[in-house]
Amino acid sequence: MVGLSQVAELTEGMTDPEHSSEPAFDISDEYRPEPAAPVRPPAWYDGSVRIGIHTSIAGDIVESLEIARKLGCNALQIFSWSPRMWPRAGSIRIPEADAARFRERRGQLGLGPLVIHDNYLINLASPEPVLRVRSIQAFRDELVRAVALGADFLVAHPGAGRGGTIEQAIQETVRGLRQAARGIKLDGLRILIENTSGMGTSLGSRLEEIAAILEAAPELPLGACLDTAHMFEAGYDIRSEAGLERTLEIIERTVGLRRVFVLHVNDSKTPLGSRVDRHAHIGKGKIGLEAFRRILNHPLLASSGSYGLHGRAFILETPIDAPGDDRRNVRTLWKLVGRSAQQAPRAEDGFSMLRAGKTGSRRRPASRNPTAKRLRSSRAKKSKPKRRGPREHRER
C-alpha cells in the first residue's frame, strides 16, 4: 500500500527542478490505443437528390462514369458484364487495376449511389438444375464484381418458377441468394430485389412476393428496387394522386418504404395491368409527366428528410431511340424536382450514348472486355443506329 504522504513525496519529486532530468509523467504520454477511424460516409451521401441513368460499359468500364457525368447525372446504374450472355468459361472477374481506376474516378466525380443491374439470364428460382447452378454461379460473380467496383447496390430480378407454386419460387430464390452470397464479404453492398411487370411466370409483380423474399433471409443485406413501369404494368395505378397514395400504403405494408433504396423511373408504353414490359420516355407513356412530378417530389420517396430515405436514388432505364434521348430524360427528372439547368449537374451539350448514324464506327479505346468487343463488332454489322442503353427488360 502506498500512503498519501508517500504519494505527496513522489509527486513532489516529479516537479522538483533538481530532478528535472528525470522523465516527468505527462498525461499525454500515457499509452492509449488509437481510436478506430470513424467511418466517413462518401461525399455523395449528403442528402441531396440523386438522379442517374443506366450507362453503357462498352469499351472501358471507367467510361460509364464519364457518360453519367456528361449526361448530367450524379448517380448511375451499369451492368458489370454483358447482360445477355453466360460467362464462357468459369467465373468472370474485373482485373483489380481496372476496378481500382473505376473506384478512384468515381470518387473524383462524386457519383453515387452506384447501382449494378444483374444479368438478365440469371434465374435463381429455376426448377431446372443446370440453369439453377449456372444462375447461382453467375449471381456469385455479380456479387464479387459489384464488391470489386465498390458498388452500393446490386439489383436482381427475383426469378421465375416456371410452373411451380409462388411459394416454391420464393423459397428457391432465397436459397439461391444464400448460396451465391456464402462466404463473400459484401463490404456494404446491398442486394435489391426488383419488382416485375408479371410477364410469364416471373415472380415479383406483387409487392407481397418481394416482401416475402426480404423476410425469408434476414441475415442478408437485402432491400427493394421499385420500377415505376413494372409497378404500373403489374396493376398498381400510380398515375393519379389517390392511386399513388394507395400504392405507397401498399409499399409500406409489404416491403416497407425504408427498404426501397432505388426507384427505377420509367414511363410505360403499355397500359395499366398489361403485364407487358415496355419502357417509354418520361412523360411520353401511359403514366405521364404529372405522375412523375408527384413521384419524384413525394416526401415518402425523397432522398432525405424525416420521411424520406437518405441516399435513395432515381435511376432511368428509358429507351434511346434518337441521339439525345438519354440526356433529355435526365434533364426532365431534374426539371421535375425543380432544378434549373444551372442548378442541376452540368450536362455536356449534345452528348448522347447514341451517336447519329455513327454507332459501331465510333472510335473507342481498345477493349479489355472480350464480350464488349464482340458486342461492338455485332453492332458494327448493322447500319441502323442501335441504342446502347438498356432495352426494355424482357423478363423470363
CB of 223 to Zn ion, least distance (A): 14
Identify which of residues 141 and 317 has a Cβ nearer to Zn ion in the complex. 317
CB count, 10 Å around CB of 184?
Answer: 13
Nearest in space to 177 (alpha carbons), one of 150, 225, 145, 138: 138
In angstroms, the CA 92 to CA 94 distance is 7
Identify which of residues 109 and 224 has a Cβ nearer to Zn ion in the complex. 224
CB of 348 to Zn ion, least distance (A): 25
- From the list 78-86, 284-292, 313-321, 358-366, the region that binds Zn ion by CB under 5 A is 313-321
Identify which of residues 126 and 359 has a Cβ nearer to Zn ion in the complex. 126
6 alpha carbon, distance to own chain's centre? 67
Contacts of 73 (CB under 8 A, 6+ apart): 51, 52, 53, 55, 111, 330, 345
Q: Tell which positions 362-381 bind Zn ion, by CB under 5 A.
A: none
CB of 129 to Zn ion, least distance (A): 25
CB count, 10 Å around CB of 221?
Answer: 14
- From the list 100-108, 191-199, 254-262, 338-346, the region that binds Zn ion by CB under 5 A is 191-199
User: How many chain residues touch Zn ion (CB under 5 A)?
Assistant: 5
CB of 228 to Zn ion, least distance (A): 9
Work out whether 142 is an interface residue with Zn ion (CB under 5 A).
no
Binding mask 257-286 for Zn ion (x = CB under 5 A): -------x----------------------
CB of 77 to Zn ion, least distance (A): 9
- From the list 28-36, 38-46, 187-195, 247-255, the region that binds Zn ion by CB under 5 A is 187-195
Q: According to CB under 5 A, which one of 118, 141, 152, 227 is a site residue for Zn ion?
A: 227
Identify which of residues 204 and 385 has a Cβ nearer to Zn ion in the complex. 204
Nearest in space to 106 (alpha carbons), one of 131, 134, 85, 78: 78
Identify which of residues 60 and 267 has a Cβ nearer to Zn ion in the complex. 267
In angstroms, the CA 219 to CA 120 distance is 25
CB of 227 to Zn ion, least distance (A): 4
Q: Tell which positions 80-119 bind Zn ion, by CB under 5 A.
A: none
Amino acid at 19: H
CB of 280 to Zn ion, least distance (A): 13
CB of 177 to Zn ion, least distance (A): 16
- From the list 27-35, 122-130, 222-230, 347-355, the region that binds Zn ion by CB under 5 A is 222-230
Name the site residues for Zn ion (rule: CB under 5 A): 194, 227, 264, 317, 393
